[in-house]
Amino acid sequence: MNLQLLSLLIVSGLLLGATVTDLRSRRIPNTLVLYGSALGLCFQALAPASGAGLFPGSEPGLLAGLLGGLTGLGLLLPLYLLRVMGAGDVKLVAMTGVWLGVDNVWHATLCTLLAGGVLAVVVALASGALRQAVHNTMRVVHSALLRGASAGMLVQAPVQTTGRLPYAVAIATGTGVEMARLLAA
Residues 6+ apart with CB under 8 A from 63: none
Name the more confident of 47 and 105.
105
Task: Supply the pLDDT for residue 161.
Answer: 54
Domain that holds residue 39: 3-184
Other residues' Cβ atoms within 10 Å of the Cβ of residue 3? 18
Longest CA–CA separation in the chain, Å: 56
pLDDT band for position 116 (cuts 50, 70, 90): very high
Q: pLDDT tens-digit profile of 35-86?
A: 999 999 999 998 887 777 888 878 889 999 999 999 999 999 999 998 889 9
Examine the pLDDT at 17 and tell me if it is beyond 90. yes
Other residues' Cβ atoms within 10 Å of the Cβ of residue 142? 11
Put simply, whether the predicted model's pTM sits higher than 0.75 gets the answer: yes
Examine the pLDDT at 172 and tell me if it is beyond 70. yes
Domain total in the chain: 1
